[in-house]
């Protein structure tokens, strides 16, 4: 059984703790921004809050799609903290919008 486990783990694609995963992650984020920001700007959606939500959705999508499977590299730990800060900012923006609508 040990030989089967070793064979399966060797066949699995692994994320190196190096910059390979980071490059793909950042490329996906940049591609998202290059496509979506001009598109929504063309529709006249230029509010800072709206653009932040757009960027944050792209960040979360890239995080879900390209998370490291076998290792936890340093860039991923930094990414997790950026995501946490993004959720705090998003919560604050929702609070401001609710207060502006008179819900709070």
Q: What is the mean pLDDT of the chain?
A: 85
What pLDDT, on a 0 to 100 scale, did the predictor assign at position 68? 87
Phi, psi of 14 (to 5 degrees): -115, 150
User: Whole-angstrom Cα distance, residue 73 to residue 76?
Assistant: 5
In this prediction, residue 31 has a pLDDT band, given cuts at 50, 70 and 90, of very high
Q: Read off the pTM.
A: 0.74
Two tokens at 5? 């486990």
Percent of the chain with pLDDT over 90: 62
């Amino acid at each position: 059984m040990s030989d089967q486990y070793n064979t399966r783990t060797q066949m699995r694609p692994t994320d190196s703790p190096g910059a390979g995963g980071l490059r793909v992650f950042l490329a996906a984020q940049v591609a998202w921004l290059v496509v979506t920001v001009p598109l929504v700007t063309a529709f006249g959606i230029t509010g800072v809050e709206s653009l932040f939500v757009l960027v944050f959705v792209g960040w979360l999508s890239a995080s879900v799609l390209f998370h490291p499977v076998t290792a936890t590299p340093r860039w991923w730990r930094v990414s997790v903290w950026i995501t946490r800060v993004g959720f705090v900012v998003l919560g604050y923006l929702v609070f401001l919008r609710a207060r502006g609508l008179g819900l709070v």
